[in-house]
Amino acid sequence: MDYPWLHLPATAVDEAARTLLGWRLTANGVTARLTEVEAYSGLGEDPASHAHRGITGRNAVMFGPAGRLYVYQIYGMHFCANIVCGEPGKAAAVLLRAAAVADGVELARQRRPAARKDGDLASGPAKLMQVLALDRRANDTSVIDGTGPLTIGPPSGPVGTIMAGPRVGVTSAHDVPWRFWLAGDPTVSTYRRHTARIRKVS
């Protein structure tokens, strides 16, 4: 199978992100079509990236090789996943932000009983992980050779119109237009620009 995004350099992580739209994620009985992604670069170039201050035990997966999952936890309870891109030694990854469930809908509904409609099942990075039943154990596993819990396959048809705009929920580099999504898809995030919290000091 050809993975065109797999061979792009780390400096082209935004192109890799666009290329991943429409690809199909399959894990634990559910398949979902990627509708929204975000690109993150490495050292110093992207202050919103987990890798911008260098390699650590947490972010080491981001430094390659490409085609592996970087999974991290947010708010102490939810998980998000990124596909590592670029050449080894240069951190780059694409956050899997949202998807439309294509197969295994009933199973997805069981895993996300709070979803009011099918378009809400995987309409966020943590929701997507819940639908696919993935957690930290998927960290540093391959999505291309069949050895990991998640596999990825190419679009089954035309992808449609791709839009670009600022990333969501980051505290730095707010306006970098590295979020990409399929126009008109109901699973895509509503954009809200990050605003700093005002703290009471007295």
CATH number of the domain at 154, please. 3.10.300.10
Q: What is the pLDDT of residue 136?
A: 95
Q: Tell me what pLDDT residue 193 has.
A: 62
State how many domains the chain has.
1
- Mean pLDDT, the chain cut into blocks of 10 residues (202 residues total): 90 95 98 96 75 82 94 87 94 96 98 95 96 97 97 94 88 82 92 50 36
Residue 192 belongs to some domain of the structure: no
* Domain around 118: 4-182
Burial letters for 85-94: b for 16+ Cβ neighbours within 10 Å, e otherwise? bbeeebbbbb
Q: Is residue 196 part of a domain?
A: no
Residues 52-67: b if buried by 16+ CB within 10 A, e if exposed? beeeeeebebbbbebb
191 falls within a domain:
no
- Give pLDDT, residue 161: 96
**193 lies in some domain:** no
Asked if residue 143 lies in contact with residue 153, where contact means CB atoms within 8 angstroms, the answer is no
Q: Is residue 146 part of a domain?
A: yes
* Within-domain flag for 187: no
pTM over 0.75: yes
- Return d(Cα 126, Cα 97) in angstroms, integer: 8
Provide the β-strand partners of residue 70.
82
The overall longest dimension of the chain from CA atoms, in Å, is 61
Q: Is residue 177 part of a domain?
A: yes
Residue 201 resides in a domain: no
